[in-house]
Amino acid sequence: MLKRSYDRKVTPLATGGKLPKAKVGNSFGLPSGLEYSCPGATPACLKVCYAGKLEQIFKATAALLMHNWLLVKDAGITDIVVMLSKMIKEFSDECDRYGAEKIFRIHWDGDFFNDRYTEAWATVILNYTDVQFWTYTRNPDAATFLNGCRLKNLSLYFSADEYNQDAAAKLSFEGIKLAVMADTFDDARTLSKSISGLNGIACPEQTGTIPLIEANEKGACARCRLCIDGNHAIRFSVTKR
């Protein structure tokens, strides 16, 4: 059984108390890095990858991600579809139990690592039309394929930085939204403008406009919805300034 992650930032429902946690687990991850699930990793993202740092700090997190990786890395497309479907069904049932919105982030850590795996996700997204999925990828082939599937319940972003801006420009021309990362929000605006002609909106959680999580509420992403609804280009800052 593939394992979901309980990510405070994206959860549709938090627990109560002074230190709220995710009550609903609505994200999925794989180990990061070129040696694992990130074929499109750039020097910029490898340097600042927050998810990769969490893998190093928290042994339980690393073990969960490796568990998922070992199940999918060599599996056939049918087996991957079955495993992902069981996981999403479990998530859907959990949402029904707590009355939570069915929103699911694909890859809080990791990426679409090959065509077989990407196609499996497309099948699952198509089958679960009552779930709104969103994802960021640095794999141009995965972005092109998923965009071509015209999945109405998937918000797709290509993660761009100074090292993959040529690929990002091509994908932007194809209509794929960009999530641009740079050292500062101003740098990200300049880069986004040069790639796609769009300024992009600075991530409200990073700017401090929306808190990471609040008791008995939703996580920042679930409250913001910019990426979930996928209507705008997004900017992220390494320094959060």
The C-alpha R_g of the chain, in whole angstroms, comes to: 17
pLDDT for 14-44, tens place per residue? Answer: 999 999 999 999 999 999 999 999 999 999 9
The amino acid at residue 185 is: F
pLDDT for 108-133, tens place per residue? Answer: 999 999 999 999 999 999 999 999 99
pLDDT for 63-97, tens place per residue? Answer: 999 999 999 999 999 999 999 999 999 999 999 99
Enumerate the β-bridge partners of residue 132.
103
DSSP string, 56-68: HH-HHHHHHHHHH
Residue 40 to residue 33: CA distance in whole angstroms: 9
Q: What percent of the chain has pLDDT over 90?
A: 98
